[in-house]
Amino acid sequence: MRALLAAIKRRREALGLRQADMYLRVGISRQQYQRLESQGNPRLDTLELIAKGLNSSVLLIPDEHLDAVRAVLEKRARETSQVAEATPSLADDPWQGLLGDDT
């Protein structure tokens, strides 16, 4: 359960959200969410609600496929970071895309 709660917290932080923001996203007060994130044992419907609020999904992955799923996700993360590194930032090229030429 600790790993799940830590993953929820990491996802919230990755989205730049505070615990208080969860009220607007899923209807859980800051106090309720704080308790859940630190020591909670959420019901499945609450977990699905939180996942939706964090632009995520709850999945049941069979153990025999877990390594394959992780490999796919890691590959996608590497590809995404490589694309981000290859794309010049607006600081490097303030005219980027101004005329509709995506080069």
Count CB-CB contacts under 10 A for residue 15. Answer: 13
pLDDT tens per residue across span 84-96: 666 666 666 666 6
Whether 56 and 11 have beta carbons less than 8 Å apart is answered as yes
Q: Got the DSSP string for 49-71? A: HHHHHTT-------HHHHHHHHH
**Overall average pLDDT of the 20-40 stretch:** 90
Q: Cβ neighbours of residue 55 under 8 Å, at least 6 residues apart?
A: 15
Radius of gyration of the chain (CA): 18
Q: Which residue has the higher pLDDT, 28 or 90?
A: 28
- 54 token code pair: 């964090």
Amino acid identity of residue 17, one-letter, is L
What was the pLDDT predicted at 96? Answer: 65
What was the pLDDT predicted at 92? Answer: 66
> What global pTM score does this model have?
0.68
Mean pLDDT of the chain: 85
